Amino acid sequence: MQRDSTARVSEGNLDLDRVLAVLRHRWWVILLFTVLVGGASFALSEHQRKQYTATAGVLFEDSQLNQQASGLQIVNASPTEDPRIMATNVQLLTDAAGVAKLTAAQVGHGLDAADVSRAITVSEQGQTNVANVSATSPSPSLAAAISNAFVAQFIADQRAQQQAFVTQALGLVERQVAALSPQQLAGTSGQSLLDRAESLRILAKLQDGGAQLVTPASPPTSPSSPKVKRNTALGLLLGLLLGLTAAFLLERLDRRMKNPEDLEETYQLPLLAAVPQSKAYAAAPQLGVTDAHAESEVFKLLRAYLRYFNVDREVRSLLVVSAAPGDGKTTIARNLAQASQETGSRTLLLEADLRRPTIAAHYRVDSAPGLSELLVGAVTVEEAIRSIPIVTRVNGSTSDVSLDVLSAGHPPPNPAELIESRAMADVLSWAAERYELVVIDTPPVAVVSDAIPLLRKVDGVVIVSQLGKNTRDAAAFLRERLVGVNAPLLGVVANGVKIRGGGSYGYRYGYGYYGPDDGPSAGTSDPPAPVDRPGQPVA
C-alpha cells in the first residue's frame, strides 16, 4: 500500500515537472499570443468610434381606468406584484414605432425613425415599476436629447390614448343618461350613471397616461463603448489562454524526445546513464581537466553498470551507436573509454567511423596509420594503435594513465566493405582477447549501414540520443533496424541532460548528489565536422 502511494506521488510530481518543462520551453509562444491578442484588443478598442449612452427613467402607474370605466370591482394589482404587467410596459416602449418617428422629427440632426429605434434600448430597473430608456450616440448631448425626447413623446402618446378612452367611455355613459326618463334618472340606476359620468370627467382632467418621467437623461461624461481597459484585459486573458493551448498543442505535436523517460519508452530499453551538459567532455585529455571528478563520475558509474550488466555474460566489446549525427555518440564513446581506463580496466577505443573520423583530431595525433590501413594490411596492429596519455587533476592530485586508441585512419573509398571484411572480424577478436573492454565508435546507424555487420560481432550495443534532437519516429526506425538483425541491445544513454537545482534525476542516474556549484555548466554534442579546439564540443 505504501509503495502504491509513493508511486502515485512520484507520477504526480512527474506530471507537474513535465507541465513546468513545457512552460519553460514554450514560454515565448505564451508570451507571443498574450501580447498579440492583448495588443490587438487595445488597438481595435482605441480606434473604434466612441459611443455615449444617456438613460432616462420612466415610472409606470396602474390607473385602473378600464375597471373604473366599466364599473367592475377594482383589483389592486401593480407591475411589481405581477411581472407580466412590467414586461408589457417595457414591450410598449420597445415597439413604439410612432414615438420613434415623432422623436426623430423633434430632435432633428438628420435622424429618422429607424435611427431612433436603433439608438434606443429599454430595460427594467430591477424589481421596480421603473423602466430605463437608454439612447446611444456618438454625441453625449445628442444621446441625452434622444432619450428625453423619446420618453416625452411616449408619455404624451400614452396620455392621448388614455384620454381618448376616457372620452369614449364618458360619451357612452352620457348617451345612456340621455335615454333615461326623469323617473329612471331619479332612481338608483340613474344616479349610478350620473356618478360614473362625473368620475370620468374628473379622470379626463387628471389623466397622465399612466407613465411619468422620474429621472431625466443627462449628457454622459465618459463613453459607454468601447471600454478600452476592459477589452484590453479580456484580450490579455484570451491571449494567455490561447498561448497556453498553443504551447501544449505544439508540445503534443512535437515528436522530439526531450527527457530520459521518452527514450526508455520509445526504445523500450533501460536507461543506462543520463549525461549532463558539460564542456569538460570535449576537452583534450592530454591537457588535463581541472576538478573533472563530477563530469567523469557518470561514465565511471556507466562502466560499472556495464561490467555487471549480465552476470552470465561479460561485456568485453561494446558498440556505441546513434540514430543521426549530432547525438554526441563519439563524445560518449571517448569518455566511457577514458573512464574505464581510469578505473583500472585495460581499454581500447576503436573508431569504426571510416567516413568522417574525428578521434585523431581530438587527441591531436596523426590520422594515419589507423584502422583503414590496418584492414588493408598496410600496417600491423601494434603500429596502428596509439597510447594516449589521460591527465586529470582533482583537488591538486594528478591522475596520469594512458588509453589505447585505434583511430579510423585515412577515409577509404569502400568503408562498408572494409568493416564487413574478415580482417575486421580478426581485429575485433584480437582486441577482445587483449582488452577488458573495447569501445567501438560507429557512424550513425540510421544514416549509413557501415555498422550493421558489427552488430552481431560485439557483446553489447548502446544507443546514444541527444535530448531534444531526435524524433520518436527516427528512434522507432533505429530500434526496428537493430531488433531486425538481433543486435545485443543493452540500453540507452541520454545525452545533454539539463540539471536544475542539483539534478532532477537524483540517485537513479548517479549524479544527482552533486551540489549546484559542482554541476556542469554547458552542453556537448556531435558537431558536423571535426573540431580541434579544447573546450569546444566535438563529435
**Mean pLDDT highest for which of 34-43, 71-80, 115-124?**
34-43
* Distance of alpha carbon 154 from the chain centroid: 55
| Per-residue pLDDT at 528 | 36
| Per-residue pLDDT at 293 | 54
Query: In the predicted model, is pLDDT for residue 380 greater than 50?
Result: yes
**Mean pLDDT highest for which of 7-11, 26-30, 308-312?**
26-30
Nearest CA among 250, 220, 201 for reference residue 23: 250
Query: In the predicted model, is pLDDT for residue 232 greater than 50?
Result: yes
Decide: residue 9, CB within 10 A, 0-12 exposed, 13-18 middle, 19+ buried. Answer: exposed
Tell me the pLDDT band of 414, cut-offs 50, 70 and 90.
Answer: confident
Nearest CA among 403, 382, 380 for reference residue 392: 403
| Per-residue pLDDT at 2 | 42
Is residue 385 within 8 A of residue 348, CB to CB? The reply is yes
Q: Which residues contact 284 (CB under 8 A, 6 or more apart)?
A: 362, 363, 364, 534
C-alpha 366/C-alpha 363 separation (Å) is: 9
pTM of the model: 0.56
**Mean pLDDT highest for which of 62-76, 155-169, 195-209?**
155-169
| Per-residue pLDDT at 101 | 80
C-alpha 174/C-alpha 201 separation (Å) is: 11
| Per-residue pLDDT at 129 | 76
Q: Which three cell numbers stand for residue 300?
A: 565511471
C-alpha 26/C-alpha 14 separation (Å) is: 18
The average pLDDT across 40-57 equals 85
Q: What is the DSSP secondary structure assignment for residue 536, as one 8-state letter?
A: S
- 253-256-262-268 Cα dihedral, nearest 10 degrees: 100
Tell me the pLDDT band of 91, cut-offs 50, 70 and 90.
Answer: confident
For helices 27-47 and 228-253, what crossing angle results, to 10°?
150
For helices 329-342 and 293-307, what crossing angle results, to 10°?
80
**Mean of pLDDT over the chain:** 76
Is residue 398 within 8 A of residue 286, CB to CB? The reply is no
C-alpha 103/C-alpha 177 separation (Å) is: 41
Tell me the pLDDT band of 524, cut-offs 50, 70 and 90.
Answer: very low
C-alpha 139/C-alpha 54 separation (Å) is: 10
398 strand-pairing partners: 393
Query: In the predicted model, is pLDDT for residue 348 greater than 90?
Result: yes
pLDDT, tens only, 235-285: 999 999 999 998 888 877 777 777 788 888 888 888 888 888 777 676 666
| Per-residue pLDDT at 35 | 92
Residue found under cell 579546439: 533
pLDDT, tens only, 175-199: 777 777 777 677 777 777 777 777 7
Residue found under cell 545533454: 496
Nearest CA among 204, 215, 168, 213 for reference residue 63: 204
C-alpha 441/C-alpha 451 separation (Å) is: 9
Nearest CA among 59, 98, 96 for reference residue 79: 59
Nearest CA among 323, 260, 242, 225 for reference residue 30: 242
Tell me the pLDDT band of 122, cut-offs 50, 70 and 90.
Answer: confident
Q: State how beta strands 271-276 and 489-497 pair.
A: parallel
Tell me the pLDDT band of 286, cut-offs 50, 70 and 90.
Answer: low
400 strand-pairing partners: 391
C-alpha 336/C-alpha 340 separation (Å) is: 6
CATH architecture of the domain formed by 52-224: 2-Layer Sandwich (3.30)
C-alpha 447/C-alpha 465 separation (Å) is: 14
Q: State how beta strands 347-351 and 397-406 pair.
A: parallel
CATH assignment, 269-508: 3.40.50.300
| Per-residue pLDDT at 70 | 44
